[in-house]
Structure 1
């Protein structure tokens, strides 16, 4: 039994007792008795609709009747002023706010409409104002696409606060957004995007930032190199990487991994071809050294 049902049970029982008590009193006039009888029947009807699951339909019908009466009285919504929308269509805004062609300004719940609009993924804030007798103003502030988040093979556009806005599409507005990957990447997206913005020479070479165990980042560079970043000191590590790339063209070398997780050293892993070439070079040097010593 729901809380609403329990309350209605109590109201019906209390109403019956009150009605019986008043009916037995000589002080009750006939008019009062009629009103109490009507109220009791109304409460009983509401109770029955609640128990039968018909309450939503009854409320909707009552609202429509109220709107019809209010419209006849001059409170029909004749002008709707929408502002701030870019991604969200006017139809979506009105439908979400609960504004129908038959809605009246008098019975429109402005606060409820605002709350429903702010549950819409694209809408960050909304303002709903009723200007009597027939004007409705709705202003929205939309979220902006901040990054693309890839997880479980799906890519979504996310806002700066990590809110998923929409599935990725070929919309030109999304093509240049940074890409983050993995669990937790959406909630830490500002951290990596802002840090990379300070080293544009590195940022422009990044294909995606991968969140590892929701503790640190690995950058997947466009040429295939993985840059393993530390859990702490992210900005310092990226600045160090930028200096190494500028002075020694680190990110253009034949390597597969740059490991910056230790603060006092930088480790690299050569590609297979570079490793074999290095081994051959070392053997040649050793052979030359041995020949010269003999």
Structure 2
């Protein structure tokens, strides 16, 4: 009986020792795998691929931004953190980041699409994009001229709307808008490429633009100097000022 008990006790402790050995070995293996996976030296990201149609920035600028600090290993690199870093770059509107086994980090970039300069008399780097959002970036990379929008900071949506509406109507009739100014009282003034200023006020804006378009052939026929401004804020008629300072204001 005593012999049987000793045998059972030995088997129990032997089994427990074996179980503990397996448990320790498993935990050690998992720990080794974890630290190996997290070690950038063991599982490094060797290639950084930048994709997207880039007009205002280069892939090198993206790499320079990201490689300023360690990215981590293939497993430890935080794609959300990397995306946030990329989207903080001035000309980036959106970015997506993904890892591709075994050593590639791919970044796809959507650039800002500038619509116009924004309040250039206040900040040299302010722009507004096609979605009507203000952003700040280096304008020296622009390859084409943009119109200038000026308005109270909270009225960017209204300024963009007025620019699009007036420039579309005027553009259909051969005029090019270079500047739109919306005052604190939301009175609108539009500057044309030839230097003519259209004062439209706050009401019936497109009707007043159309009145200028209809009247323009007569103004051109009778003008003796370039137009300076056309005030269309009257219910009937307009006030015209010629650019020559010796000319007096004429009413039509």
TM-score (norm 1): 0.58
Query: 1:120-174 deviations in whole A, cap 9, x for unaligned?
Result: 22111110001232111100100112112322373644322232342433x5613
- Alignment partner, residue 191 of structure 1: 161
Matches within 5 A, 1:233-272: 233-246=204-217, 248-249=219-220, 256-262=228-234, 264-271=235-242
Q: CA RMSD in A?
A: 3.3
Matches within 5 A, 1:43-62: none
Would you say 1:118 and 2:91 are equivalent positions? Answer: no
Q: Give the Å deviation of 1:189.
A: 4.1
8 Å contact kept, 1:67–1:103 = no
- Alignment partner, residue 154 of structure 1: 124
TM-score (norm 2): 0.66
Q: Distance in 2 between matches of 1:221 and 1:270?
A: 15
- Alignment partner, residue 105 of structure 1: 74
In the alignment of these two chains, the number of paired residues is 207
Q: Distance in 1 between matches of 2:150 and 2:224?
A: 25
Would you say 1:179 and 2:179 are equivalent positions? Answer: no
8 Å contact kept, 1:208–1:220 = yes
- Alignment partner, residue 291 of structure 1: none
- Alignment partner, residue 213 of structure 1: 184
Q: Give the Å deviation of 1:211.
A: 2.1
Would you say 1:77 and 2:49 are equivalent positions? Answer: no
8 Å contact kept, 2:96–2:107 = yes
Flag structure 2 segments of 5+ consecutive residues without an equivalent: 1-34
- Alignment partner, residue 97 of structure 2: 128
Q: Give the Å deviation of 1:219.
A: 1.9
Q: Give the Å deviation of 1:193.
A: 2.9
1:98 and 1:108, CA in 2 relative to 1: closer, same or farther beyond 3 A?
farther
Flag structure 1 segments of 5+ consecutive residues without an equivalent: 1-65, 279-294
Q: Distance in 2 between matches of 1:79 and 1:112?
A: 18
Query: 1:35-71 deviations in whole A, cap 9, x for unaligned?
Result: xxxxxxxxxxxxxxxxxxxxxxxxxxxxxxx799623
Question: Aligned to 1:203, which of 175, 178, 191?
Answer: 175
Would you say 1:230 and 2:198 are equivalent positions? Answer: no
The structure whose RCO (Cα within 8 Å, separation 6+) is larger is 2
Q: Distance in 2 between matches of 1:202 and 1:67?
A: 67
8 Å contact kept, 2:175–2:192 = no
